[in-house]
Chains A and B, each alone.
Chain A
Amino acid sequence: SQQGEEDPQALSIQEGENATMNCSYKTSINNLQWYRQNSGRGLVHLILIRSNEREKHSGRLRVTLDTSKKSSSLLITASRAADTASYFCATDRSPRLTFGEGTQLTVNP
C-alpha cells in the first residue's frame, strides 16, 4: 500500500534557522497535506497542496510538490522553539489519507 516516507527522521536546529523536511510517495494523489503533532497532542493541519499546484505558502511555511518525482518538501523559515514537534506528510487518495513516518524537529533556543 502507498505510504509516505519522510526524510530526515530527526532534525535539530537553532532558533532562527530554516528547517526543511522531505516526503516521498509511491502512487498518484489528489493532494498532499502536512500536519504537526506536538508531544502528547493530536495532529494539527498545516497546509494542503493540490496535485496541480507546485508551491504554496502559509506564513513561515513553504510547501513544494513535484508530482513527476512524487515528492514534497516543507520549509519552515526563521524557526522558533515553539516549532518543536513531529511533522507528518499525508497523501490523499480520497477517502483515504496515508501518513508518512514523520520528522521530529527540535528547535533549540
Chain B
Amino acid sequence: DTAVSQTPKYLVTQMGNDKSIKCEQNLGHDTMYWYKQDSKKFLKIMFSYNNKELIINETVPNRFSPKSPDKAHLNLHINSLELGDSAVYFCASSQEASEQFFGPGTRLTVL
C-alpha cells in the first residue's frame, strides 16, 4: 500500500561506478520529482516530470539522467559516481499545485 516507493533504500558503491535508483508511485499523480538532501539536510530539486515530460531540470551534472517510462515511474541513473554524490535522494509525486508525497529516500554512499 506504499504510496511512493524507492529502491534500493541503501546504496554503497565505489567512485567511478554507474548506479540507478528506481521510484514508483501508485497515487495516480501526473508529476514526479527527484530531490537531493545533503548532510546538512538541505533539500534541493533536481528534476521533475509531468506525464513523462521533463519540466524541471536544475543545474545538475549531466552524469545524472532521469528516465520516466510511464507516469507512475521515475528512475534516476548516475554515471561515473563521485564522492560529492553521497547524499540521500528522495523521489516525490504530486497532482498539480498541491502537496507532494515523498518516498522513504535512498541513502547513497560513494567510497
Query: Do A and B share a complex?
Result: yes
Answer yes or no: A68 CB below 8 A from chain B CBs: no
A42 and B104 contacting across the interface, CB-CB below 8 Å: yes
Q: Could you say which of B13-21, B62-70, B77-85, B92-100 contacts chain A?
A: B92-100
The winner among B44, B48, B55, B97 for most chain A CB atoms within 10 A is B97
Interchain pairs with CB closer than 8 A, number: 53
Residues 63-88 (chain A) with a chain B CB within 8 angstroms: 86, 88
With A35-B102, A95-B56, A97-B33 already in contact, 6 other A-B pairs whose C-beta atoms are closer than 8 Å: A42-B92, A88-B43, A95-B55, A96-B48, A97-B100, A101-B40
Chain B binding surface SS class: strand
Contacts of B33 on A, CB cut-off 8 Å? 97
Interface size on A, residues (CB 8 A): 23
Chain A binding surface SS class: strand
A41 and B43 contacting across the interface, CB-CB below 8 Å: no
Contacts of B97 on A, CB cut-off 8 Å? 30-31, 92, 94-95
